[in-house]
Amino acid sequence: MKKQENQKSVGNEEKVKNCQINFLQKKIALMKSFIGKDGFYKQYFSKLKDFKTPKETFENVNELYFELFGCYRFNSFAEFKNKIAE
């Protein structure tokens, strides 16, 4: 009985480990999508259709950037718009 329980435990640990690896691989891919001069803008423009306003889209992408990197890419929507206009 203990051998069976031990095998289940090892199987569950392996599933958890694989799930964590999968999660981290997706997070790394998302982080890579922000790399480069245009990464943030590409994210923004790809999500425009998902939100009611450009400002909501910006706030969502800027929050995602914060979650991934621990800081905001832009301090405000106005700053972002100014950068786009350059």
Tens of pLDDT, residue by residue over 33-86, are: 999 889 999 999 999 999 999 999 999 999 999 999 999 999 999 999 999 888
Q: Is the whole model's pTM more than 0.75, yes or no?
A: yes
Cβ atoms 62, 73 nearer than 8 A: yes
* Residue whose C-alpha is closest to residue 59's, from 40, 38, 77: 77
Which tokens sit at 56?
Answer: 């909501």
Task: Using the predicted structure, report yes or no on whether residue 3 has a pLDDT greater than 80.
Answer: no
Distances in whole angstroms, Cα of residue 86 to Cα of each of 36, 79, 80: 17, 11, 10
Which residues, including other chains, have CB under 8 Å from residue 55's CB and lie 6 or more apart? 77
CA dihedral defined by 13, 16, 20, 22, rounded to 10 degrees?
110
